[in-house]
């Protein structure tokens, strides 16, 4: 469900927020910090939370946040903080994998459409239009119903539903590059279509996609957690933020921390990824405008 | 103009046909016997004869290709068949629930627009720190999962403050929280888009001319900049409508609001093929109509497009 | 002279610590036109905007008075009554200086709404009156159209109307005619002159000395934020005291005979005075016969962009192709380059057919044909350094010869330190030199130049034009030189073809076309091009 | 609801009108005089039924609604004795093969059709008709072979074999008596608006939103233990579907709804203190909530492995924590409501060493890297499909705790949360080692349905009730004899012996009684749960506002 990039700004004047090479804005520093923290939690959870996320102690259930349990304990007495930290790896994996699937599929659809002949272009646009018209969640629901719930299916489902958005952006990007001055100059210099494709079209078309990816990861994590909430996502007792939210929701009036902290983790990760994506986007647009 | 409309309608029809086919074959892949779904869901003690009877009645025993042609024929005449699990004509069912979802999505879109405009103007007018706070808010808003936002809003507004009902009751008060839940994340997206184009418009030569004419800062914003800022957001609203329908599934479940979103979830879990097809088609039709509408609004708002 | 309307005394403007305008002083009286001349970055626009309090920087001055208003102590409310009421601003391009989404009448109506107490109905009539006063034909219906739907000249008139609607005492015109074609430019200049004659004070900002000579009474020359020279038009243009002014005047190509270098370096008495232009008798390198092309349009008959055009380029000589925007010059160029397939007509390169053959065959012979454009930046891959750009353009067999790279850079006068940098971080002039180097890399025989210098400052323009002359002399290149600027074309071309609405209306030797134009349109074009009429070159 | 200021109650006297005027309804009315009128809003968390006619299918959500508009031949009182209802009296033949029921002659359905013997016969025929696709009702009347109307209000029923649970079956809403004329309208119409003799009538059903029930003005067939006579006090009931538990409880707190069911344990715990919300506990009859161990396939075909699993599963702390002390651990296969339920705590005390010893003895000696037991290369894996509709969140967390504690003994329990269709699919395909499937039926005869070897034969839909795959001829004999004997004491001994076989064989890990609670606001009075299947009845209910 990524937002397709809008048409170039009407007046082409450079974006004010971040000049290339300018020092980082406050927002960028915060989001970088969050992402680094997330990466650490994903790669070496033991470092930040030595406890075992699955260890239960029913007698200590529903304890409010305290020094011993910074995020409190859940309905089975497990430490919420440890589970959030260990859940980071799972959620980040889903976010990255889903975005990779989305972009991979989109690259195929987009490039085929833009580089192939008119018929191919017509076909891929139609496919894209159809996928676009389907509500993303329906695509995910049907896919999960066919293959059954679980981590891999959730990841693929989210990837599938984000692909049309990316494909549309990549295709328009490739068409814009093909019409650019430097491609025409290359033609005048006598370069063949393949050299032009390799040297100019693909590098320039694909570059912004990675920026889009950072935007996409945030949304992918949000959508994966929604699927877990609907009971279609990750299989318990794995510590995944969406599943933790879904499990914590019935106890909201008596144990608010079960819902608040995993939710904050999702929002912090998704927001930081989007913020970084946005500033990368404005910096690269800086380079090319 | 006529040619433009004809092309759009043809494109729309193709999309609907493609979706119907996608769903027809997609749902066939789901394990579980459709006849089961017809007889009040699996686990029913329906006897073999009852299952056989139902299969014949709904033509489930015909070869797949024949079933497909039959289904497409019915769809073409607008007959969406009867829902397996709810035993009612899909069209009337959707008719009942469509307005709830439509009201929810349209209100959410409008609220998202209002909030986005507010955020964008605040972001371009305030001090440097004000600007940073506004863009921070936008990014955070767009990163909030619907169901978590719903729980937080219920916790805050109804459990703690007791101001609003946690369930969607008749009348406006029941709509506030569901609309807010859908509108805030979308407002985050729209605001980011609007802020950029608003900032660009404010630096453009025609705004300098306006200021040189003695126009006040607010006059410049509302007469010139806002209209330009909303152009990219209008084209984005088509896509936004699609994402709102997905969001509606979650919001309608949490707030117990009747609507297409919630029945879509139930229909998929109950393997209710006609219902899923019906809802998918209706939401796709709505999406196609909204895209045509946003294109039209685009042309009105930006006459330059008319010549293209 | 009546009391000055505007007095500026030791004005300085700084942006976050960096001073852009330093100690500028001048006066403008009613009915008088003062021109501020300078190249980009000279601070002339900032000076103008400081008179409206719209610089956004820190403004300080001994005195800044407009009529009885002291601009230094003006508060926001006072400024708003001055802007539009006392001072009108006319910017360069009405297409973006009028709100593209609103009818032009509404923009004029805004000025009236802000500064008069007329009722909406009265305002509507007043709008039509103002439009008619600026020479807008059929004003009532034009007022309802948007800027995009009007021709260049008409929308510029609408822009002027929006500035003078509240009859301000001072008009500031910042490059008012730069975006216009010659014929339209002269009409707009006449309009401004009329306003001045009616008693309004006019402050004209321009980089074009010829335009200034037509309209201004006194001139101020600015460079790097300071005034280097001021005086009446005659004193400054005919007897410039400051070295920079002299260089500026010399760089203006119009009227300078073909082959005579323009750039200041030539003034240092260097004798590299290229030989008089070789007579255009070299062998024909590129021959186009009967080219025609039309583009389909919605709801209208297809647009006939080029109609039966035949031209030929000879080795070592330049054919100038001049005409207003929309006359089809660029379409001809693209047909020669094989980028657009002509509807009919043929192009032969070096005697062999070049136009209607399969692209694969044509590709091998493209090496012989080079091209440079008005905006070089858009013709470079944003991710490539200068080295990568040049190396890609070289012949495969010469690709890895470092010597060839430095040789190319020397030929266009660029230091080898440029190689590692990206075009985005180079100046306009340097970028065009890289473009020329790239075009020369495959050792072409023909170079198509489409408005190569229109976007450059006069001094930089002079250097690039001299460079093109030198390269032609050295390599015997055939040039097709396309421009809307008659002065530049006259200076660069051996032969000139004048295009109008897709056809060549006149062709001949440069001097004859200029001194005794045959076709009525050429005469009108030559007459409307402002000339500097310097006395003999010092 | 704020408490009324002190002074007001003093002046009060019969100041009901004054307190109403003052707008604070909290002043408890002095007299116990019920107030007629008003609409009660009931919010259910159960899934929305696919058909309002309880004969079709037959799950608990249908029973909750059907109790309001459909009545049965007999009812039960709090002590479990059968009470006359639509049937005034009945007598069983000596060989138990035929029964004769005498119906009340003054009752008619809300569509005007009089209640007659033919009407009851039509209902039973409707249950047995495959077209109806009934499951619970169909099984309950399994033994009825033929029916003859002796006279207009007397019906003779002949059985294929004696059925001691016939009266229990007739007391259930799934065997409720509907108007035959309504049944003839066809299933689609009858699902929308079934017609019974109950205190309320189905007025309108808007999918996903709710059902509107209005008072049956000429109602005259209240059960024996009813609190008043004449039509119901309430004017109407607004039955709303609110699936989300937290939202449902918040709606009750904010006064949007008057009664909710399926409350979360923490909401239930908060209500039992003396807050404005009161709780009604109504444990369901039939089987207890338990986990069945599939003895039909490895590894649970070996009793030692079954016992090891049960010895290793730590459950008590979990139940205490997750259910906030509102639930007692059960050691029986039957719900504590059933008089004949046998509780054997001694089989279920947790002993990790014993569990390890049993597993070693059973050959599961090695352990792999993750600590799970392995035998001939096969890891000790237990598939546990969980139905997200039927297991409440607290129960799903309990299964996670069982997963964690049995891991110490070396079991790898794989939890698979599935929607209803895939859950039934997994059961039908025997892709499970553990499963939790509540079954509600009045009377101990539920044991026959759950553990008799006949129930291992799947119905046409693939569903079979004997999930433990228990095929023990001795048990079969006990159950058949118990279901046919009319001697109550002999029947109790037989059921006790049968339960002991099931429990001692470690086929089942009992957890707790099937939880069934209702929470209602302060101004709801007179609401009670019918002792048959513990569904709420609002005949005596009234609103003190």
Which tens digits make up the pLDDT trace of C433-472? 999 999 988 889 999 999 998 888 888 888 899 999 989 9
Nearest Cβ partner of C379 from A185, A191, A287?
A: A185
Closest CA to A55 of D323, D310, D401, D368: D401
CB-based contact, B262 to chain C, within 8 Å? no
Chain A contact probe: residue of D260, D312, D317 with most A CBs at under 10 A: D317
Chain B residue with minimal CA distance to C109? Answer: B213
Nearest Cβ partner of D417 from A55, A235, A253?
A: A235
pLDDT score for A5: 38
pLDDT score for B305: 66
pLDDT score for B115: 93
Rounded CA gap, C216 and C232, in Å?
A: 9
Rounded CA gap, C294 and C344, in Å?
A: 10
Which tens digits make up the pLDDT trace of A193-217? 888 888 888 888 877 777 778 878 8
pLDDT score for B241: 83
Pair A227, B106: CB distance under 8 Å: no
CB-based contact, B10 to chain A, within 8 Å? no
DSSP C242: S
Rounded CA gap, D182 and D116, in Å?
A: 14
pLDDT score for B92: 85
Rounded CA gap, C457 and D171, in Å?
A: 101
R_g of chain B computed on alpha carbons: 24
Output C280 or A230, whichever has higher pLDDT.
A230
The DSSP code sequence of C317-331 is -EEEEE--TTSSHHH
Shortest distance, CA D370 to any CA of chain B (angstroms)? 33
Which helix (DSSP H) or strand (DSSP E) does residue D312 occupy?
helix D303-312
pLDDT score for D4: 37
Supply the mean pLDDT for chain C. 87
Which helix (DSSP H) or strand (DSSP E) does residue C284 occupy?
strand C284-297
Residues 6+ apart with CB under 8 A from A172: A5
Shortest distance, CA B274 to any CA of chain D (angstroms)? 15
Which chains does D contact via 3+ CB–CB distances below 8 A?
A: A, B
Rounded to 5 degrees, what angle do the CA atoms D209, D37, D534 make?
Answer: 60
Chain-chain contact of D207 with B46 (C-beta, under 8 angstroms): no
Shortest distance, CA D181 to any CA of chain B (angstroms)? 21
Interface of A with B in 29-58 (CB under 8 A): none
Pair C174, C45: CB distance under 8 Å: yes
Rounded CA gap, D531 and D81, in Å?
A: 10
pLDDT score for A141: 82
Closest CA to B108 of B261, B300, B228: B261
The residue ranges of chain D whose pLDDT is under 70 are 1-32, 272-274, 459-462
pLDDT score for B82: 79
Supply the mean pLDDT for chain B. 82
pLDDT at B131 over 90: no
Q: Which residues of C are less than 8 Å from B302 in CB distance? A: 101
R_g of chain C computed on alpha carbons: 25
pLDDT at B231 over 90: no
Rounded CA gap, D416 and D427, in Å?
A: 12
Backbone angles phi, psi at C180, to 5 degrees: -105, 155
Shortest distance, CA D187 to any CA of chain A (angstroms)? 29
Chain-chain contact of B165 with D134 (C-beta, under 8 angstroms): no
Closest CA to C322 of C441, C160, C487: C487
Interface of B with D in 23-52 (CB under 8 A): 31-32, 36-37, 39-51
pLDDT score for B168: 66
Pair of tokens at residue D281: 């506990």
Chain-chain contact of B209 with C115 (C-beta, under 8 angstroms): no
Average pLDDT over residues B105-133: 86
pLDDT at B45 over 70: no
Alpha helices (H) along C139-225:
139-142, 152-164, 182-197, 209-215
Peptide bond into C140 cis (omega under 30): no
Closest CA to C467 of C512, C411, C516, C420: C411
Which tens digits make up the pLDDT trace of C309-342? 999 999 989 999 998 888 888 899 999 998 888 9
Surface-to-core class of residue A22, CB atoms within 10 Å of its CB (0-12 exposed, 13-18 middle, 19+ buried): exposed
The residue ranges of chain A whose pLDDT is under 70 are 1-23, 114, 233-234, 285-289
Chain-chain contact of B45 with D461 (C-beta, under 8 angstroms): yes
Which percentage of chain C shows pLDDT scores above 90? 38
pLDDT score for C271: 38
Shortest distance, CA A228 to any CA of chain B (angstroms)? 11
Q: Which residues of A are less than 8 Å from B18 in CB distance? A: 126, 130
ipTM: 0.78
CB-based contact, B48 to chain A, within 8 Å? no
Residues 6+ apart with CB under 8 A from C533: C213, C255
Residues 6+ apart with CB under 8 A from A8: none
Chain-chain contact of A236 with D415 (C-beta, under 8 angstroms): yes
Nearest Cβ partner of C363 from A181, A184, A190?
A: A190
Four-residue CA torsion sign, D522, D526, D529, D531: positive
Interface of C with B in 123-162 (CB under 8 A): 146, 148, 159, 162
Chain-chain contact of A56 with D419 (C-beta, under 8 angstroms): no
pLDDT at C272 over 60: no
Rounded CA gap, D6 and D241, in Å?
A: 38
Pair C221, C227: CB distance under 8 Å: yes
DSSP A13: P
**Residue whose tokens read 């923490």:** D266
Chain-chain contact of A249 with B159 (C-beta, under 8 angstroms): no
Which chains does C contact via 3+ CB–CB distances below 8 A?
A: A, B
Backbone angles phi, psi at C257, to 5 degrees: -60, 155
Per DSSP, what are the bridge partners of residue D237? Answer: D40, D213
Pair C52, C172: CB distance under 8 Å: yes
Residue C35, helix vs strand vs coil: strand
Pair of tokens at residue C365: 């012979």
Which tens digits make up the pLDDT trace of A177-189? 888 889 999 999 8
pLDDT score for D17: 43
Closest CA to B294 of B248, B228, B247, B241: B241
pLDDT at C267 over 60: no
pLDDT score for C8: 93
Rounded to 5 degrees, what angle do the CA atoms C3, C9, C10 make?
Answer: 165
Rounded CA gap, D136 and D122, in Å?
A: 17
Nearest Cβ partner of A181 from C369, C379, C441?
A: C379
Q: How confident is the model at residue C269 (pLDDT cuts 50, 70, 90)?
A: very low
Q: How confident is the model at residue C169 (pLDDT cuts 50, 70, 90)?
A: very high
Chain B contact probe: residue of A13, A135, A282 with most B CBs at under 10 A: A135
């Amino acid at each position: 469900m990524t937002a397709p990039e809008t048409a170039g700004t009407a007046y082409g004047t450079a974006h004010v927020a971040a000049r290339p090479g300018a020092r980082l804005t406050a927002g960028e520093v915060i989001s970088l910090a969050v992402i680094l923290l997330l990466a650490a939690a994903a790669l070496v959870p033991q470092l930040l939370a030595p406890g075992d996320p699955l260890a239960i102690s029913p007698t200590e259930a529903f304890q409010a946040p305290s020094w011993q349990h910074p995020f409190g304990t859940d309905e089975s007495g497990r430490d919420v903080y440890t589970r959030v930290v260990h859940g980071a790896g799972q959620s980040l994996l889903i976010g990255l994998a889903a975005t990779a699937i989305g972009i991979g599929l989109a690259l195929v659809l987009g490039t085929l459409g833009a580089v192939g002949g008119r018929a191919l272009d017509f076909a891929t646009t139609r496919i894209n239009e159809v996928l676009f018209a389907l509500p993303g969640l329906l695509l995910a629901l049907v896919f999960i119903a066919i293959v059954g719930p679980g981590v891999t299916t959730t990841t693929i489902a989210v990837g599938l539903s984000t692909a049309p958005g990316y494909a549309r952006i990549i295709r328009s990007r490739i068409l814009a590059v093909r019409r650019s001055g430097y491609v025409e100059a290359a033609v005048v210099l006598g370069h063949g279509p393949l050299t032009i494709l390799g040297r100019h079209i693909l590098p320039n078309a694909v570059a912004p996609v990675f920026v889009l990816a950072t935007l996409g990861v945030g949304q992918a994590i949000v959508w994966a957690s929604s699927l877990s909430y609907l009971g279609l996502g990750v299989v318990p007792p794995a510590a995944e933020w969406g599943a933790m939210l879904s499990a914590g929701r019935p106890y909201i009036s008596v144990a608010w921390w079960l819902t608040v902290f995993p939710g904050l983790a999702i929002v912090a990760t998704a927001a930081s990824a989007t913020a970084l994506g946005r500033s990368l986007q404005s910096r690269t647009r800086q380079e090319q405008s | 103009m006529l040619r433009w409309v004809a092309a759009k309608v043809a494109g729309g029809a193709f999309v609907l046909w493609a979706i119907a086919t996608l769903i027809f074959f997609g749902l066939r892949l789901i394990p579980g016997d459709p006849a089961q779904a017809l007889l009040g869901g699996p686990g029913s003690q329906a006897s073999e004869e009852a299952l056989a009877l139902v299969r014949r009645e709904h033509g489930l025993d015909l070869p797949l290709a024949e079933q497909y042609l039959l289904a497409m024929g019915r769809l073409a005449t607008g007959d969406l068949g009867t829902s397996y699990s709810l035993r009612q004509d899909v069209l009337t069912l959707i008719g009942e629930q469509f307005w709830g979802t439509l009201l929810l999505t349209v209100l959410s879109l409008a609220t998202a627009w209002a909030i986005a405009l507010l955020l964008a103007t605040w972001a371009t007018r305030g001090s440097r720190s004000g600007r940073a706070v506004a863009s921070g808010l936008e990014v955070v808003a767009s990163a909030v999962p619907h169901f978590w936002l719903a729980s937080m809003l219920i916790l805050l507004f109804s459990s703690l403050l007791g101001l609003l009902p946690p369930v969607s009751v008749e009348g406006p008060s029941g709509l506030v929280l569901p609309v807010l839940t859908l509108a805030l994340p979308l407002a985050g997206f729209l605001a980011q888009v609007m802020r950029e184009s608003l900032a660009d418009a404010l630096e453009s030569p025609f705004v300098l001319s306006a200021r040189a004419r003695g126009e006040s800062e607010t006059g410049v914003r509302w007469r010139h900049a806002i209209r330009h800022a909303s152009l990219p957001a209008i084209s984005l609203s088509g896509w936004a409508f699609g994402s709102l329908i997905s969001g509606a599934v979650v919001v309608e479940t949490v707030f117990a609001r009747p609507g297409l979103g919630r029945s879509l979830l139930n229909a998929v879990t109950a393997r209710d093929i006609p219902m899923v097809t019906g809802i998918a088609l209706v939401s796709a039709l709505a999406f196609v109509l909204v895209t045509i509408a946003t294109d039209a609004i685009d042309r009105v708002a930006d006459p330059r497009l008319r010549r293209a | 002279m009546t009391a000055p309307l505007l007095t500026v005394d030791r004005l300085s403007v700084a942006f976050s610590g960096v001073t852009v305008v330093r100690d500028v002083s001048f006066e403008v009286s009613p009915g008088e036109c003062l021109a501020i001349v300078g190249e980009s970055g000279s601070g002339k626009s900032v000076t103008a905007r400081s008179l409206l309090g719209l610089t956004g920087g820190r403004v300080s001055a001994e005195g800044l008075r407009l009529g009885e208003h002291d601009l230094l102590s003006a508060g926001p409310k006072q400024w708003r009554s001055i802007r539009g009421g006392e001072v009108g601003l006319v910017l360069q391009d009405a297409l973006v200086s009028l709100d593209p989404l609103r009818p032009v009448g509404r923009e004029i109506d805004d000025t009236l709404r802000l500064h008069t107490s007329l009722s909406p109905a009265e305002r509507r009539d007043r709008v039509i009156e103002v439009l008619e006063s600026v020479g807008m034909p059929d004003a009532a219906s034009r007022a309802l159209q948007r800027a995009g739907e009007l021709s260049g000249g008409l929308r510029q008139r609408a822009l002027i109307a929006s500035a003078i609607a509240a009859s301000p005492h001072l008009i500031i015109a910042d490059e008012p005619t730069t975006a216009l074609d010659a014929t339209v430019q002269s009409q707009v200049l006449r309009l401004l002159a009329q306003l001045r004659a009616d008693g309004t004070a006019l402050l004209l900002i321009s980089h074009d000395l010829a335009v200034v000579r037509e309209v201004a009474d006194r001139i101020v020359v600015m460079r790097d934020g300071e005034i280097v020279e001021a005086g009446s038009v005659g004193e400054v243009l005919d007897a410039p005291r400051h070295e920079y002014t002299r260089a500026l005047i010399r760089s203006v190509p119009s009227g300078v005979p073909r082959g005579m270098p323009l750039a200041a370096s030539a003034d240092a008495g260097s004798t590299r005075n290229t030989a008089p232009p070789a007579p255009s008798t070299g062998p024909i390198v590129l021959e186009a016969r009967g080219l025609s092309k039309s583009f389909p349009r919605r709801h209208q008959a297809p647009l006939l962009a080029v109609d039966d055009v035949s031209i030929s380029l000879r080795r070592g000589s330049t054919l100038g192709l001049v005409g207003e925007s929309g006359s089809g010059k660029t379409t001809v160029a693209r047909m020669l380059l094989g980028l657009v397939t002509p509807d009919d007509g043929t192009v032969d390169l070096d005697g062999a057919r070049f136009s209607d053959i399969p692209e694969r065959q044509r590709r091998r012979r493209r090496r012989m044909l080079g091209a440079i454009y008005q905006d070089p930046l858009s013709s470079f891959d944003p991710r490539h350094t200068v080295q990568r750009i040049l190396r890609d353009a070289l012949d495969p067999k010469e690709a890895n010869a470092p010597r060839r790279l430095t040789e190319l850079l020397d030929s266009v006068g660029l230091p080898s330190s440029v190689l590692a940098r990206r075009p985005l971080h180079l100046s306009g002039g340097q970028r065009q030199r890289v473009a020329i180097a790239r075009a020369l890399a495959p050792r072409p025989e023909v170079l198509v130049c489409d408005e190569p210098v229109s976007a450059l400052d006069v001094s930089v323009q002079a250097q690039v034009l001299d460079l093109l002359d030198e390269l032609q002399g050295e390599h015997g290149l055939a040039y097709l030189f396309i421009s809307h600027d008659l002065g530049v074309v006259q200076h660069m071309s051996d032969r000139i073809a004048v295009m109008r609405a897709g056809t060549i209306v006149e062709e001949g030797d440069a001097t004859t076309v200029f001194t005794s134009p045959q076709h009525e349109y050429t005469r009108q074009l030559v007459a409307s091009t402002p000339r500097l009429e310097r006395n003999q070159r010092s | 609801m704020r408490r009324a200021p002190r002074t007001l109650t003093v002046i009060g006297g019969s100041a009901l009108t004054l307190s109403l005027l003052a707008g604070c309804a909290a002043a408890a009315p002095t007299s116990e005089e019920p107030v007629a009128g008003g609409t009660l809003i009931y919010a259910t968390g159960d899934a929305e039924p696919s058909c309002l006619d309880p004969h079709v299918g037959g799950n608990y959500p249908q029973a909750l609604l059907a109790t309001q508009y459909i009545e049965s031949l007999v009812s039960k009182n709090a002590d479990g004795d059968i009470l006359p209802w639509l049937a005034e009296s009945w007598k069983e033949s000596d060989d138990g093969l035929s029964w004769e029921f005498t119906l009340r002659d003054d009752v008619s359905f809300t569509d005007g059709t009089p209640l007659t013997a033919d009407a009851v016969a039509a209902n039973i025929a409707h249950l047995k008709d495959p077209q109806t696709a009934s499951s619970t009702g169909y099984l309950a009347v399994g033994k009825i072979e033929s029916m003859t109307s002796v006279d207009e209000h007397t019906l003779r029923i002949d059985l294929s074999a004696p059925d001691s649970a016939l009266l229990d079956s007739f007391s259930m809403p799934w065997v409720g008596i509907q108007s035959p004329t309504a049944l003839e309208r066809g299933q689609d119409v009858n699902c929308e608006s079934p017609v019974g003799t109950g205190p309320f009538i189905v007025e309108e059903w808007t999918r996903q939103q709710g059902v509107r029930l209005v008072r049956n003005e000429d109602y005259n067939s209240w059960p024996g233990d009813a609190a008043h006579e004449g039509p119901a006090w309430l004017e109407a009931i607004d039955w709303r579907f609110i699936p989300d538990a937290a939202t449902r409880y918040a709606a009750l707190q904010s006064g949007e709804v008057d009664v909710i069911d399926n409350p979360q344990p923490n909401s239930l715990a908060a209500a039992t203190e003396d807050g404005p919300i009161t709780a009604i506990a109504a444990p369901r009859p039939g089987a207890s909530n338990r986990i069945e161990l599939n003895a039909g396939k490895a590894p649970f075909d070996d009793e030692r492995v079954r016992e090891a699993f049960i010895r290793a599963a730590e459950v008590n702390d979990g139940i205490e924590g997750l259910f906030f002390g509102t639930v007692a651990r059960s050691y029986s296969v039957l719900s504590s409501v059933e008089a004949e339920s046998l509780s054997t705590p001694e089989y279920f005390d947790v002993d990790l060493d014993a569990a390890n010893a049993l597993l070693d003895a059973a050959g599961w000696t090695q352990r792999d890297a993750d600590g799970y037991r392995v035998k001939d290369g096969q890891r000790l894996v237990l598939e546990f499909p969980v139905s997200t509709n039927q297991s409440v969140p607290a129960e799903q967390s309990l299964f996670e705790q069982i997963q964690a504690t049995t891991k110490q003994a070396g079991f790898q329990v794989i939890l698979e949360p599935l929607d209803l269709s895939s859950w039934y699919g997994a059961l039908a395909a025997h892709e499970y080692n553990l499963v939790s499937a509540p079954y509600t039926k009045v009377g101990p005869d539920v044991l026959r349905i759950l553990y008799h070897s006949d129930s291992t034969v799947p119905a046409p839909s693939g569903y079979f009730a004997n999930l433990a795959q228990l095929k023990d001829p001795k048990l079969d004999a006990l159950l058949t004899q118990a279901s046919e004997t009319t001697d109550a004491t002999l029947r109790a001994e037989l059921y006790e012996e049968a339960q002991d076989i099931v429990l001692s064989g470690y086929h089942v890990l009992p957890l707790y009684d099937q939880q069934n609670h209702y929470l209602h606001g302060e101004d709801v009075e007179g609401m009670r749960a019918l002792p048959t299947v513990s569904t709420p009845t609002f005949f005596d209910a009234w609103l003190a506002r």
